[in-house]
Structure formats: C-alpha cells, structure tokens
Chain A
Amino acid sequence: MFETLTDKLEGALKRIRGEHRISEANVEESLREVRRALLDADVNFQVVKDFIDSVKSQAVGVDVLKSLSPGQQIVKILYDELVLLMGSERADLQYAKSGPTIILVAGLQGSGKTTFSAKLARHLKEKGRLPLLVAADVYRPAAIGQLKQLAASIDVPVYSGDETSPLRIVEEALEHARKNLRDTIIIDTAGRLSIDEAMMQEIADIKDRVRPTEILFVVDAMTGQDAVNTAKAFHDRLDFDGAVLTKLDGDTRGGAALSIRKVVDKPIKFVSLGEKLDALEPFHPDRMASRILGMGDIVTLAEKAQEQFDEKEAEKLEAKMRKNQFTLEDFYAQLQQIKKMGSLSSILEMIPGMGKALKGVDVDEKSFVRIEAMIMSMTPEERRKPAIINGSRRKRIAGGSGTSIQEVNRLLKQFEEMQKMMKRLTKGGARQFAKGLMQNR
C-alpha cells in the first residue's frame, strides 16, 4: 500500500541526505519532488499546495538534530504534518445509546458500497452485535441479489422487501429489525452522482426519515482530483460522519485519503482491502502517515496477530524460538496461524521496509500450499529433526508432496536459515527470509 508514494518520497529525500542544516535551497529541491509525488498520488492540488507550504515554513532553518540526518528530519516534519492532516486520532464507529444503531452507506457508483456493507456486517457480528443488512439499491440490476449472496456467506439476515421505493424499504426494515431483535441496521444504498439532484434528494429523505447513528461515505481509493468535489457534495447534503476508503489493496496511492479528510474535516473510519469479506481494517491516521513515509505499519500487524494468535501458543513458540528448538512442526503450526491473519501480501506489506523489499517479488499465496504439502509428507521425526533428511528421504518427500527435490532442498535450507535468524531476529534477517520464502516456487 502506498508503495509508489513512499518510493517517490524516499527518492526525493535522498537528495538532501548528508547535509547538516536544512536550508531554503536544499529543501526547495526536495519539496518539489514531494509535491510531484503527492500530485501523482492524486492528492488534491490545493491540499498539496497547503501541505508543502506548511512543511516548508517549518523545515527551513531547522538545525538538524545530532541523531538525525536532514532527510530523517524532513521525514519527521512530513510525518507530523501528514498525521495532522489526516486527523491525529483514529475514529471509531458510533453506536446508538438506546435503540438500534443505524448505519447509512452512501457513495458513487462502483465505489464498493455493497461489498463494504457486507464486510461491516461481518465485522460487527464478530464484535457480538446482531446486524441486519438492508438492500435499498433498487436501481442497479441484481444489486439486491449481490447483497443477499454476500450476506448468506456470512450468515447475516438481509431485508429487501418487495417495495420499489428505497424509502419504504428502509422504513419496513426498521420495523423488521425491531421484531427480529436486530440491534444494528446497515443500509446499502444505490450508487449516485453528486450532481443527480433526484437521487441526492432520495438519500437525504432516507436520512431524514431514519436518523442514522452513522452515515458513511464510501470512496474508491483510486479516485483522482474529483474526490474532493464528490466528498464535499455528499457532505453538504448528508453531513456524513466518516469516510470509507475502498480498493486500497491495489497500487493506488490513495491520495484521496489525504484530501477528503482535509476538505470535509471528517475522519476516515475504515479501509477496505480486497474482495474477501474479512479484508476490512479500521483507519489509523498515524499509522497511515507512517505507512506513507515508509515506516511500515507494525502496529496493525501486531494487533492482527493479537486477534488471531492463541496467546499461549505464541508464548510457547517464543520460548522455543529463544531456545532454538523451533521445529518444522512449529513452523507448520505457525503457517496456519499466519493464514488466519489474512493474505500473505497484506501481512508482509505491514512490516517496515517490506513493501520495498518485496517490490517486484511475486507474492504467491500458493507457495504456502506447497510448503505445507512438503511438511505433511515428512515423518514426525523428520519434522522434529530435519537434519536426518537425507537424499532418499528428500526424494520421498518430493514425491509425496508433488514437488521437486530442489524445492525440498530449498525449504530445508530456508528453514535452517530461519532457525539461525531466530537467534538474531534482526529486521534484515526477517526481510531476507520473507523474500526467500516468497521465491520458493
């Protein structure tokens, strides 16, 4: 995520490395690069201008701290400013103090409202709430069918009714929720252009009628300069509470994230990162800023790990790592844990420096499967003591797992390196290992 922007900022900052004081001249050149990088990232023109002016006024004349290079110093200023720009705190969903929580989802066509609605329902269900999805898009062919199929896959009820008026559907849905004891109502609406007066009136009417606890504006992370206009138009009409940034799993730079926050002064509450329904994350402005600047996102990773890892298992594993008793069995168990955390590439991207290290490396989710197959083709003894795996055992394992002897060799070699690395647990080692693992095809 944000690789391109990060790369570009890094490129720009290289130019001022090795200087002792930030001067007008050396900052000017690099900020021109930053400006271009931000514009290429689709940050709104005016937002970029303000941002650059602000960074410049802060940077010029600053003595470079002994502990920092001028580049690092500017990164720090950029980072602080970015955090400020995106809102310094992360914003959570609001829930109704009494009665059901009603969440209205709005946005342009194709921004990803329906998929997001289902993801949100899944997320809230996991938090112990009882969501009801409401299919209020009566215009797009099969939109209701899409929501129903997604809802069925996460076992959340949908109310669609047989009305043709979205307002009526929503009214009936509220009644339906009351009768069926659903405490959270997520209303998926039709995509609409901000200049389509009739459609904007329709959603304003829905808002007036149901008084949502939370109105979320869904926006495609790939949106260009127009993100600002659209967000403003929806905001003028709906006074939404937060934005959701979708399709951030591509290589878009998501400049819209910076612009929207600044222009409508509403937080981004979620980021959506894929077509699988668990690919939803809360938006953390500070982490996003560090992500933009290439500092990675270790906090999100740690949190994810927390959610999925069995605490005791983790402790046991850690002890084993320390004592260097880490076996292929443990490795296999660990792979299963990692798989629970989401896609391999999304995990790797959150590790600092990894985005860059993995650039151009084909992250193949299937490489897991082959590794698993090889480990499963070993005897328990082999898994515990890989050293005993000789030539004929290798041949058997390759045959049993449908892989090649070369692949088995590579796995064993990497495992050996991994064991060594675990003693050090250095960042460089981790990076190298992940890279090696990914190329193991």
Chain B
Amino acid sequence: MGFLDKLKLTRLKEGLLKTRDDVMRKVSRVIRAKRKIDDALLDEIEEILILGDVGVATTTRIIDRVRERVRKERYEDAMELLRLMKEEVAALFEKSDVRTNGIAIEVPDGARPFVIMVVGVNGVGKTTTIGKLAYNYRSSGKKVVIGAADTFRAAANEQLEVWATRADVDIIQQQHGSDPAAVAYDTLQSAIAKNADVVIIDTAGRLHTKTNLMEELKKIKRVMGKLMPDAPHEVLLVLDAATGQNAIQQAQQFSLAVEVTGLVITKLDGTAKGGVVIGVSGELGVPVKYIGVGEKIDDLQVFDSEAFVDALFEAFSAEEDVAE
C-alpha cells in the first residue's frame, strides 16, 4: 500500500485543485459579490460551468435542481447556493456509482490474470496511461504483461516498448499490421502461462464513428473471452480533459461496443477544466477511475469521487475562510 498513500488524497487534490480552483474561485467570487440568489446570479454560474466544459445539458440540470430547491426550501442567502451545487454535483457522481475510494489500483481478488483493456480515440494518451498503470501495478509487486494490440499506428509498438522498459514489465507484440485480436489472444495466453497478475491490452486509437474499427475492438474483446470467459475484467476508456462535449458521444459509442467499465481522464495538468467528467459520468453512469496529471511515469492518480467533489468546492471554502 506504500506507494498508494503517496498517490492518495494530497496529490489528487493538487492535480484537481489547480484546474477546478479556477472554476470554483470564479463561482465563489460571483456568489460573494451578490448576497441574494436571483436569476442573474444563476446565469453567471451557468456561464462558469459551461466554460468549464460541463456541458449545457448537465449544467442546466444542476442549475434547474438548484433553482427548484431554492424556491421550495426558500434559500435566500447566496452562500447556501454553494452547498446546494456541491450536493447536486455529488448526486450526479453517486448515480454513476463511483465508490473507488482510492484503491482502484489494487488488483481485486478473484481470477488471475486480471485483464484490463484500454480504448479511446486517437491522441488521448492511451499508451502513456498504460505505461503509468503498468508501473503502478509493478511497484505494488504485481507481475504485469502488456499486449501491444495497436498494430496500426506507425511506431506504436516502439512507443509502448519504451514504457514497458521504464515500468520493467513484459510486453507481447507482433509485426506492424498484424491482427490486433491475435496479439491480445497471445498476450493473455502468455500471461496465463507465466502466472501473471495483470494483463493490460493497448489498442489503436480510433474514432468512435468508424464502424469497422469498432467491430475490430469487439473482436479483440471477444477472443480474450475464449481464453478466460470473464476477460477483460476492466475496459478503460481514456478521455482527453481538453475534449468538449464529444466526450459524451465517445463514451456512449465505446460503451456500446465494448462495455466500458471505467474512465481515465488525461492531461488534467493543462488548462482544460475537465468539466466533461461530470457530464460523462453523470449521464452514462460510468465511473472515473484514474486521472493523468503529467508525462512522468508516476503521474497517474486514482480518481476518488468524494475527493473530487471536495476538491471542487474546497477552493471556495478556503477562500471564504480567508475572507471571513
């Protein structure tokens, strides 16, 4: 558990705070500037949420719920608004059953190897995420095998190989252009023979609108099921934090094809707000499992929904304390 402690709350908050601080600081400024809850105030909050890529639908839902509660429960003080918003955002995460609480990197009990398949559109950071994931598992003493099933993109193998070396784990690969499903099958077979604990399958980036490529993904998943009926145990969809509302379509289509079980939000160390997390998780009921906050091998952090909501609103409370 040692490395997990280091990964837990503080670093998660650091990563999230920086991006979300911004949103919440603006919200708190808006709220503090006006003491009464009125439509103009709600409009300004709506703007802040939309600028954070939360999306019109989710933003409207949050604002409507808040408005309704303000009316029914007769809130007048603008300060109450923050608590209401926090509750509403938390409610959206609750629906998606995010209860990871900082232990997602641990391999669950049960079948070995534990098989993770990683999918997503081009350029979101799948390979980098896999390198970091492999490193995390390896650091906790697990035997890890990576399958290089991105046989399409130029030099994808080489890139994954570098990460495998950095993480000090095994990698199974075939020639460029070979059948990705065959690579996945070989990887799993080899992992079973070697008694590995964790198998991570990299796949080529593909736009969720390309039917034939989505079929290919289904096949990769299917063939692994032949060796191990319940494999893959986890299908992670990697989303770029800078992605706008298209992330929702991505999540929908990938879920439809391969039943996504978790999300990874990458590049949260940039200026993107990552507000799409709320929309995707809330609308699709798929939990966020990890966040990527940098290019270093230990820059993958466990996503904790409670910490996320806390971090989201912590900036506000902190500022209030100072103000008071």
Known: A45-B47, A142-B158, A146-B154. A225 touches B207 (CB 8 A): no
With a cutoff of 8 Å between Cβ atoms, the chain A residues found around residue B267 in the complex are: 108-110, 193
CB neighbors of B among A50-85 (8 A): none
The majority secondary structure among interface residues of chain B is: loop
Q: Does B209 contact A (CB under 8 A)?
A: yes
Q: Does B91 contact A (CB under 8 A)?
A: no
CB neighbors of B among A253-294 (8 A): 253, 255-256, 275
CB neighbors of B among A148-162 (8 A): 148-150, 153
With a cutoff of 8 Å between Cβ atoms, the chain B residues found around residue A139 in the complex are: 295
Contact with A along B127-168 (1 / 0, CB 8 A): 000000000000000000000000011111111011100000
Q: How far apart are B204's CB and chain A's nearest CB, in angstroms? A: 9
Inter-chain CB contacts under 8 Å: number = 143
Q: Does B272 contact A (CB under 8 A)?
A: yes
Q: Does B198 contact A (CB under 8 A)?
A: no
Of A42, A111, A146, which one neighbours B159 at CB under 8 angstroms?
A146
Of A111, A141, A224, A249, which one neighbours B245 at CB under 8 angstroms?
A224
Q: Could you tell me if B271 and A195 are in contact, using CB atoms closer than 8 angstroms? A: yes
With a cutoff of 8 Å between Cβ atoms, the chain B residues found around residue A149 in the complex are: 154-155, 176
Distance of A264 Cα from B223 Cα, bound (Å): 49
Q: Does A251 contact B (CB under 8 A)?
A: yes
Of A42, A111, A145, A224, which one neighbours B154 at CB under 8 angstroms?
A145
CB neighbors of B among A211-266 (8 A): 220, 222-227, 229-230, 233, 247, 249-253, 255-256
Of B121, B159, B212, B273, which one neighbours A222 at CB under 8 angstroms?
B121
Q: Could you tell me if A112 and B123 are in contact, using CB atoms closer than 8 angstroms? A: yes
Q: Could you tell me if B242 and A220 are in contact, using CB atoms closer than 8 angstroms? A: yes
Among the stretches A9-17, A33-41, A169-177, the one at the interface with B is A33-41
Closest to A250 in B: B207
Q: Could you tell me if B245 and A42 are in contact, using CB atoms closer than 8 angstroms? A: yes
Q: How far apart are B77's CB and chain A's nearest CB, in angstroms? A: 27
Q: Does B218 contact A (CB under 8 A)?
A: no
Q: Does B178 contact A (CB under 8 A)?
A: no
Q: Does B11 contact A (CB under 8 A)?
A: no
Which of B121, B124, B245 is packed against the most chain A CB atoms within 10 Å? B245
Which of A112, A247, A364 is packed against the most chain B CB atoms within 10 Å? A247
Q: Does A362 contact B (CB under 8 A)?
A: yes
Q: Could you tell me if A247 and B122 are in contact, using CB atoms closer than 8 angstroms? A: yes
Of B121, B152, B242, which one neighbours A230 at CB under 8 angstroms?
B242
Q: Could you tell me if B158 and A220 are in contact, using CB atoms closer than 8 angstroms? A: no
Q: How far apart are B75's CB and chain A's nearest CB, in angstroms? A: 26
Contact with A along B241-261 (1 / 0, CB 8 A): 011111101000000000000
Known: A223-B244, A251-B249. A111 touches B52 (CB 8 A): no
Q: Does A202 contact B (CB under 8 A)?
A: no
A146-B155, A220-B243 are known; give 12 further A-B pairs, CB within 8 A.
Answer: A45-B47, A108-B242, A142-B156, A142-B158, A142-B159, A146-B158, A223-B244, A224-B242, A225-B50, A226-B270, A250-B208, A275-B122
28 residue pairs A–B, Cβ–Cβ below 8 Å: A39-B50, A42-B53, A42-B245, A42-B246, A109-B123, A109-B295, A110-B122, A141-B158, A141-B163, A142-B156, A142-B158, A142-B161, A146-B159, A147-B154, A149-B154, A150-B154, A195-B271, A220-B243, A224-B242, A224-B272, A227-B242, A230-B242, A247-B207, A249-B209, A252-B244, A255-B244, A275-B122, A364-B211
Using a CB–CB cutoff of 8 Å, the interface residues on chain B facing chain A are 47, 50-53, 55-57, 121-125, 152-159, 161-163, 176, 207-209, 211-212, 240, 242-247, 249, 267, 269-273, 276, 295
